[in-house]
Structure 1
Amino acid sequence: MHAYSGRLALVGDRSPHVRSHSRIPGLLQALEEREHLDLDVYWVPTDEVDDALEAFDGIWLLPGSPYRSEAGAITAVRIARENGIPFLGTCAGLQHAMLEFARNVCGATGAQHAESTPDADDLLIVPMQCSLEGHEGAVQVRPGSRAAELLGVERSMERYHCAYGLDSSKLGPLREHGMVFSGYDDAGEPRIAELPEHPFYLASLFQPELAGDGRRPHPFIQAFAHAVAGRGDQIAETGRGAIPAAR
């Protein structure tokens, strides 16, 4: 058992109508039992995100958009990226992670999401030609990437529940600034993004929390949980900031 309990922030507006929100607690409990991890898990609504998130050892930006606060979701990603805090973004988590990177790293301050601003001039997140809500799809993984290392295969079937994706014609600046798109569908549309220079930064348009029957966590979630607990161990003796009261 780890000597220190890693603090994990689940950032999202918790709802019984979002399947992943009901699935994730059981997955994390299974990980704690199977992998001998010790995680303190806190739900943080997007409209309550602030600098207190810097005290966490991991940040998972969950599905469930439109968020109550787009700004809060993007702030959560920025805090994880700038502070080297392990980050996982799934579905809308990937979408908003790419908005954060485009705005704060690439200088594309006008980058927008079509779900919240459909008439904006600079849409980075756009409606898919075919919605993937409730569907499975193949993902081809780039060799040598973190995603490939974790999945252990070159092609994987993954479950989606989304209707928005990246405008692939606007990814050049993100790539130039270090974002790696390490997984694609059969049509060449990006499905996984990662930052190789970050301790753990991984985002997927698919929802790994929906894989299987919920008893065997997806490799992305397993690796993320280990990264969270590992960071907790490393800084167990240092001072920490305040954390949200609700759990």
Structure 2
Amino acid sequence: MRALRIAIIGDYTEGKHTHIALNAAIDHARPHLNFAIEAPWIDTTSIATVESLKQYDGLWIAPGSPYKNDGAVYSTIRWARENNIPVFGTCGGFQYMIVEYAKNILSIRDAGHEESEPGAQQLVISKLSCSLKGKPEEVIIRDKQSWLYRVLQKDIITGHFNCNYGVNPAFAEQLQQGALAFTAFSLQGDVRALELKNHRFFKGTLFQPPLDSTPERPNALIMDFFYTISR
């Protein structure tokens, strides 16, 4: 069996602890899988067209926004969504999934991200009222039919975050029109996870699963992502 190939879409930064943790989490998973896995980082400036990504079995939109080439990230997410290609977005990846969906499915053409597009008229991603930079937080899984609950079998988990931006509460209800569902929330009701119900694997978390992974216990969400792609 050939190795599973997953493209890590993002701009790898030496010494950035979340990027180091992402690579480590993949290494944690390897001994527990019954197939080999290749997971190269793809710098966003190198994505001229999505055609270059067809060689990969799945995509992981990594933390580290704004990206060097935001346009390439949005195009990649749209391509994966429209072509039923497995894609996992964490932190910045989760945020960009929201903006892409808002623009291209809900027709909120001026939807934007406050960090990279502070002048956008419809800031569907805005600055959090309280920073989650380097902080853990209790996350409630409300949707018992969700991917999160199926994999974790828990009502409440501890999410590990490294961000200052999230879903703007003013748009939360509007964003859930159609197949997009918000499945987990903070104790205050702020969105922490999403999934596209009619897609093979289109999932996103504001928290970062790699920060909760060890060699003995690789993160269950990451493991399920890999196994889903392998089937």
Q: What TM-score do the two structures reach when normalised by structure 2?
A: 0.94
Match of 1:193 in 2: 194
Q: Quick one: distance in 2 between partners of 1:26 and 1:130? A: 28
Q: Residues 149-185 of structure 1: CA distance to partner in whole angstroms, max 9, x if unpaired?
A: 1111010011000000111221333311210000000
Q: Quick one: distance in 2 between partners of 1:221 and 1:81? A: 19
- The one-letter code of the counterpart of 2:173 is G
Q: Quick one: distance in 1 between partners of 2:182 and 2:57? A: 24
Q: Quick one: distance in 2 between partners of 1:33 and 1:212? A: 13
Deviation at 1:206, TM superposition (A): 0.4
Q: Quick one: distance in 2 between partners of 1:143 and 1:46? A: 35
Is the counterpart of residue 124 in structure 1 residue 124 in structure 2?
Answer: yes
Match of 2:134 in 1: 134
Match of 1:107 in 2: 107
Q: Quick one: distance in 2 between partners of 1:41 and 1:227? A: 15
Match of 1:98 in 2: 98
SS at match of 1:176: coil
- The one-letter code of the counterpart of 2:45 is D
Q: Residues 4-57 of structure 1: CA distance to partner in whole angstroms, max 9, x if unpaired?
A: 322100000000242121122232222121122211222111122222213311
- The one-letter code of the counterpart of 1:223 is D
Matches within 5 A, 1:1-247: 3-49=1-47, 50-51=49-50, 52-141=52-141, 142-213=143-214, 215-230=216-231
Q: Quick one: distance in 2 between partners of 1:115 and 1:166? A: 12
SS at match of 2:93: helix
SS at match of 1:14: coil
- The one-letter code of the counterpart of 1:173 is Q
Q: Quick one: distance in 1 between partners of 2:15 and 2:181? A: 32
Q: Deviation above 3 Å: which 4+ runs of structure 1?
A: 212-215
Structure 2 residues not aligned, in runs of 5+: none
Q: Quick one: distance in 2 between partners of 1:157 and 1:98? A: 22
Conserved? CA contact 1:27–1:216, under 8 Å: no
Q: Quick one: distance in 2 between partners of 1:55 and 1:188? A: 39
- The one-letter code of the counterpart of 2:157 is S
Q: Larger RCO: Structure 1 or Structure 2 (Cα < 8 Å, ≥ 6 residues apart)?
A: 1
Aligned residues: 228
Deviation at 1:215, TM superposition (A): 4.6
Deviation at 1:194, TM superposition (A): 0.2
Conserved? CA contact 1:7–1:228, under 8 Å: no
Match of 1:236 in 2: none
Deviation at 1:90, TM superposition (A): 0.3
Structural RMSD (CA): 1.4
Deviation at 1:214, TM superposition (A): 5.4
Q: Quick one: distance in 2 between partners of 1:65 and 1:185? A: 22
Q: Quick one: distance in 1 between partners of 2:133 and 2:221? A: 20
Conserved? CA contact 1:31–1:37, under 8 Å: no
- The one-letter code of the counterpart of 1:138 is E
Moved more, 77-86 or 30-39: 30-39
- The one-letter code of the counterpart of 1:104 is N
Conserved? CA contact 1:146–1:196, under 8 Å: no
Deviation at 1:212, TM superposition (A): 4.3
Conserved? CA contact 1:90–1:205, under 8 Å: yes
- The one-letter code of the counterpart of 2:32 is R
